[in-house]
Amino acid sequence: MNINTSKELYKKAKNIIPGGVNSPVRAFNSVGGSPLFIRKAEGAYLYDEDGNKYIDLISSWGPMLLGHADPDVLKAVTETAKNSTSFGAPTRLEIEIADLITDTIKGIDKIRMVNSGTEACMSAIRIARGYTGRDKIIKFKGCYHGHGDSFLIEAGSGALTMGHPSSPGVTPGTARDTLIAEFNDLDEVEKLLKANKNKVAAIILEPIAGNMGCIPPEKGFLEGLRSLCDDHDTVLIFDEVMTGFRVAFGGAQEIYGITADMVTYGKIIGAGLPVGAYAGKKEIMDFVAPTGPVYQAGTLSGNPLAMAAGYTLLKKLHDNLSLYDELEVKSKTLEQGLKKVLDDHYISNYTNRVGSMIGIFYSNHKVTGFKGANTTNKELFRKIFHHMLERGVYLPPSPFEAFFLSNALKIQDISLIISAFEDSISSICTKN
């Protein structure tokens, strides 16, 4: 496989862009080698600058549920762009997509559009703090909510200690207001709330973790968080940037029957264009300016291209919910096929899947949180990644990222992926 053009572009990019990329995971640091520069994508396939074709298992990190370059989405964007790409003023499109979301997602009375999932999560905790008059938040180790200062915090030495900055530029003061718990550990959350009585504004989490592989909530975990938040007058925030409209139309809230006080979205509500949103109950959302005292603004918020693309995609999903059933069959087939290959070669593995999100851990531990996820065999993953790439399958370039499948995948694509995986594992085992 010739990737010389990608190598040349990466060499040039490193001179003018930090690390040669505009988001760190793209640099292939976890797997080594030179990242691919993508020229185009269509359906379930990516094409790099050298013309190589790959089956895509990232789906732009989630939003391409129907595949790349969906004709209806492209048409909506093209027609909208004829009227200009931005106005900095309200549009009918903003109302239409807000109507669709608030009418169909339980617990959401109002929604505010922003420009990214990071911005949505940053805004949500600011609103929660303003609404409750409290400063602290609880987040979970391994859950990612963007690069906001409050989220770039590592755990302290124990359950009752505060976090500390995990990135230069994050102040100790910010870290003091962020408390860290282990995902799926309800007792730890309860201890934090009791030790910080009447000080915790919000608990924020990915209800299905997707940034340490795919890790679902254990039975009773989300229910327990809901109960604890009610008892402590704390705002429960579900970060559904990855899971919203993907694992089900109503996201994780629909699957698990738990209603959060606030929900954040991104990616999919713009069908891949830059967008995010935070939403929630009327009494909380009315604290947002200009109605309330908590300030948040954005010139490009509700951009007409993103609104047109997002509305078109969400309407297609809403009007044809059987798509989720089709994707469930494909995702289950892939999960079982990959697991069988690993089992047949006696390779320790633990697999999680929720809908079209899959996480494979090369470990003999049950994975319910970051500690378990970190036991995965990173060197084995690195080898598998490159073997699969050579065979035309593009996996997430990190052992801590979930697979995202699109319904554009055909059954024969699934078979090709499993066959490539078998070849890759066989080759690795032979060399070892």
- Catalytic residues, by residue number, are 144, 239, 267
Contacts of 156 (CB under 8 A, 6+ apart): 162, 163, 164, 180
**Considering Cα of 285, then 165, then 25, then 215, what sign does the dihedral take?**
negative
| Strands (E) located in 151-268 | 153-154, 164-165, 178-182, 200-205, 235-239, 262-266
Phi, psi of 379 (to 5 degrees): -70, -40
Report yes or no: 81 and 73 within 8 Å, Cβ to Cβ.
no
Please list the residues that pair with 226 across neighbouring strands. Answer: none
**Angle 322-344/411-431 helices, nearest 10 degrees?**
20
- Does residue 326 sit in helix, strand or coil? helix
| Strands (E) located in 158-275 | 164-165, 178-182, 200-205, 235-239, 262-266
Distance CA 92, CA 101 (A): 15
